[in-house]
């Protein structure tokens, strides 16, 4: 799928108002779509074997006993 069509379809699926003109702008080389694609690529270069997803860091504050 062309980048522009992808963005139009994404907008429709998520109820976002992305018109063809905006989709074209976002799809430009080096634009917002490319930026996200680039960042996503970086994430998948990392070996995360053995690590489970973690959202909030927990530093064991409770270990510091009163």
Residues that bind other proteins (CB under 8 A): 10, 14-18, 26, 32-33, 35-37, 39-40, 42-46, 48, 51-57, 59, 61, 64, 66
Contact 21, 27 (CB under 8 A): no
From the DSSP assignment, how many helices (H) and strands (E) are in the chain? 3, 0
Nearer Cβ to other proteins, position 5 or 37?
37
Smallest gap from Cβ 22 to other proteins, in A, equals 8
Minimum distance from CB of 24 to other proteins (Å)? 14
- Residue 10 half-sphere exposure toward CB, CA atoms < 13 A: 14
């Amino acid at each position: 799928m062309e980048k522009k069509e992808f963005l139009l379809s994404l907008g429709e699926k998520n109820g976002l108002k992305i018109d063809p003109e905006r989709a074209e702008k976002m799809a430009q080389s080096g634009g917002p779509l490319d930026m996200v694609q680039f960042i996503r690529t970086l994430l998948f270069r990392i070996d995360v074997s053995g690590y489970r997803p973690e959202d909030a860091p927990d530093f064991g504050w409770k270990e510091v006993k009163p």
